[in-house]
Amino acid sequence: MTRRLPSTDVVVVGLGWTGSIMSLELARAGLNVVAIERGPWRDTAADFPPATSADELRYAVRQDLFLRPAQETLTFRNNISQNALPIRRWGSFLPGNGVGGAGVHWNGHTWRWHPWDFTHRSSTIERYGADFLPPDNMMQDWGITYDELEPFYDRFEYLCGIAGKAGNLRGVIQEGGNPFEGPRQREYPTPPMRLTQAPTMFEKAARELGWHPFPNPSANMSQAYTNSYGCRLAPCTYCGFCERFGCGNYSKASPQTCVLPALVRQSNFEARTECQVTKVNLSADGKRATGVTYRDTSGREWEQPAEMVLLCAYQLFNVRLLLLSGIGTPYDPRTGEGTVGRNYAYQITGGATGFFPGERHFNPFVASGSEGIVVDDFNDDNFDHTQVGFVGGSSVACIPTNGRPILNRPVPEGTLRWGSAWKRATHENYNRTASVGIQGSVMPYRGAYLDLDPTYKDPLGLPLLRLTFDFQENERKLRRFGVDRCIEAVRAMGADRVIRNEITGPYDIVPYQSTHTTGGAIMGADPKTSVVNKYCQSWDVPNVFMAGASLFPMNAGFNPTGTVGALAYWAVDAIRERYLKAPGPLVPA
């Protein structure tokens, strides 16, 4: 029996990065907000204080904070001719669970994407001609520009207190910043973090190579910071337990440090944890959402009626909820029709590990999630692509996030994996290695998409999401080119032995690459080829709004969350300033 609860103005599905920001902004606008989160409540003092959080086995290896696949996972195959099988243990990406979402255990590299990304299709055609686009691509402009989003990037950066150095202030290139970034209205809120050994060497080498190195924009704090909600962050201690861990020092921007303390004080806000939303309910004509249905941990089913539904459940689960709810038309890769699930993309990664001769103390354990040096010269359309023959590019970076020894103790190629020789090589090389890596853009293709699996179900009996994805030739070329740059860099830093890190076979779900999955519920200017309009509002059901990287029509050579946060502020601004005044479609279909 489903119990019906009193209606509320807004129901938010998922209380991670986007859910917490949008809940707070709408509660401050006077609306009654209920956020429903499938995982537990989490806070710094109880769940990851310094006394317990420095535990590699528990958090990095056994994956304590992430969504447990027993509760919900997806199935995976490389292409439609294969049989998709469940991801039984996470590998390639690590979805979050619980209050704070993946914002609890992210690394905190916080980027603005390039103006080019938002117009990547038309800009590529303009510069190189339509023949330059890769076969079977589904590239399409976002329907929004960098300039429109700039004020909202600013809001997210000032929410988080991002430590960085501007490269382009209102059109004027700044020494020491990223000369390729779009213009920004003001400096970063806090100065860059101090560098450790490997990035210090990389910066010098990159300059010698004629590149333009600059500090990685970091959500780990270079100094104490108080944001506009009155939430306070402390300086990072370089503990080396950041990505996959909660921060015990309040030094990493997260919903816990930046939003929740202010949000829970709103008397018109309420969070329900350990409640899994199973669908968005629709009116009989399917044109209006009437609320959501969810199950609590004792199996009871509840209906939460609401005037407006915000899907903030992370990229993958936003798409699953649309499919489970019957909102929009599922994408069919055979006909190319339908919108929900299309334009899934990922990031392509690789790099080089160098072994340095002589007495060396990289001390890799002295690290934060985001401290490091980046080069943007080979990303997106920052260089002439005529000769390289691919679209897009990658950032090249030296960001040594940790020296935790279960997962991080490189040895030179050819070393045995166990025994005395392994032991000696491990002893000799742990403190003598440094890596440089790429994060590459991935264009959308006809055969890369999300739908519901026909065989496998979650414990509630609902079909799992099915992922069909492989890297295409365009991205493989891009990676080869980027990894070559990493090798040049590591050699210029002085390494005498170098390992090339490049998985050359099909996309593999096992090794961790990044939790930067994108697309599936993309924004756009045309309801035939997008799920939401430029205000992140469903074309089909106008009182449903979406947040998260599911909105992205493609994936860039930078981490997603800067853009995810900016779009959340952008959407909430449209809701507050336009939608509430005249509820209905903000863009005529």
Ligand X SMILES: Cc1cc2nc3c(=O)[nH]c(=O)nc-3n(C[C@H](O)[C@H](O)[C@H](O)COP(=O)(O)OP(=O)(O)OC[C@H]3O[C@@H](n4cnc5c(N)ncnc54)[C@H](O)[C@@H]3O)c2cc1C
Residue 165: φ, ψ to 5°? -130, 125
Residue 494 touching other proteins (CB under 8 A): no
Q: Which of residues 10, 12, 37, 349 is near ligand X by CB under 6 A?
A: 37
Told to check if 243 binds ligand X by CB under 6 A, we report yes
96 lies in the binding site for ligand X (CB under 6 A): yes
State yes or no: is 427 an active-site residue. Answer: no
Which residues, 173 to 212, sit near other proteins by CB under 8 A? 194-197, 200
Whichever of 87 and 102 has its CB closer to ligand X, that residue is 102
Give the CA diameter of the chain: 73
Q: Does 402 bind ligand X (CB under 6 A)?
A: no
Q: What is the CA radius of gyration of the chain?
A: 23
Nearest residue (CB) to ligand X, 481 versus 552: 552
> Of the two residues 73 and 537, which places its CB atom closer to other proteins in the complex?
73
Q: How far apart are CA 330 and CA 496, in angstroms?
A: 52
* DSSP secondary structure of 390-402: -S--EEEEE----
The answer to the question of residue 371 lying near ligand X (CB under 6 A) is: no
Does position 246 bind ligand X by CB under 6 A?
Answer: no
Question: Of 7-26, which residues contact ligand X (CB under 6 A)?
Answer: 13-19
Residue 459 contact partner, candidates other proteins, ligand X, none, CB within 5 to 8 A by sort of partner: other proteins
Closest to other proteins by CB, 26 or 391: 26
User: What does 157 interact with, of ligand X, other proteins, none (CB < 5 to 8 A by kind)?
Assistant: none
Q: Name the residue nearer to ligand X (CB basis): 458 or 488.
A: 458
- Using CB under 6 A, which residues numbered 107 to 126 contact ligand X? 107-110
Q: Could you say which residues in the range 258-277 bind ligand X, by CB under 6 A?
A: 276-277
CA distance 500 to 503: 9
Contact 292, 1 (CB under 8 A): no
Which residues inside 532-551 make contact with ligand X, applying CB under 6 A?
547-549
Residues numbered 44-73 forming contacts with other proteins, rule: CB under 8 A? 45-47, 49-52, 54-58, 61-63, 68-71, 73
Choose among 568, 526, 575, 39: nearest CA to 315.
568
Stretch that binds other proteins, among 115-123, 311-319, 332-340, 415-423 (CB under 8 A): 415-423
Least Cβ distance, residue 296 to other proteins (angstroms): 4
List the one residue from 509, 522, 567, 568 that touches other proteins (CB under 8 A): 509
Token pair recorded at residue 586: 């903000």
Least separation in angstroms between residue 530's CB and ligand X is 18
Q: How far apart are CA 577 and CA 574, in angstroms?
A: 5
List residues bridging with 275 in a β-sheet: 296
Listed in sequence order, the DSSP H helices in 310-429 are 315-325, 419-429
Judged by CB under 8 A, the number of residues near other proteins is: 101
- The interface partner of residue 583, options being ligand X, other proteins, none and the CB cut-off 5 to 8 Å by kind, is none
**Per CB under 8 A, does 135 bind other proteins?**
no
The single-letter DSSP state of residue 113 is P
Concatenating the DSSP letter of every residue in 63-132 gives: -TTBPPTTT--EEEESSTTSPPEE--S--S---B-STTGGGSS---B--PPPHHHHTHHHHHHHHH-GGG
Segment near other proteins (CB under 8 A), from 142-150, 209-217, 361-369, 382-390?
A: 361-369
Q: What is the DSSP letter of 352?
A: E
Rounded to whole angstroms, the Cα distance separating 308 from 26 reads: 11
Q: Smallest Cα–Cα separation from 227: which of 161, 148, 298?
A: 161
Among 81, 83, 335, 387, binds other proteins (CB under 8 A): 83
Q: Retrieve residue 380's tokens.
A: 């997106």
Contact between 360 and other proteins per CB under 8 A? yes
379 lines the binding site for ligand X (CB under 6 A): no
Three-state secondary structure call for residue 242 = coil
339 sits near ligand X (criterion: CB under 6 A): no
Q: Are 53 and 109 in contact (CB under 8 A)?
A: no
Three-state DSSP class for residue 15: coil
Q: Give me the phi and psi of 422, to 5 degrees please.
A: -60, -45
Q: Which stretch binds ligand X (CB under 6 A): 106-114, 155-163, 183-191, 228-236?
A: 106-114
How many alpha carbons lie under 13 Å from residue 277 in its C-beta half-sphere?
34
DSSP-based three-state secondary structure for 57: helix
- Separation of CA 124 from chain center: 24
The reply to whether 404 sits near other proteins by the rule CB under 8 A is: yes
Q: Pick the catalytic residue: 109, 120, 212, 516? A: 516
Strands 289-296 and 348-355: what pairing?
unpaired
* Residue positions annotated with a catalytic role: 516
The residues that touch ligand X, with contacts defined as CB under 6 A, are 13-19, 36-39, 94, 96-98, 101-103, 105-110, 243-244, 276-277, 312-314, 317, 321, 515, 547-549, 559-561, 564
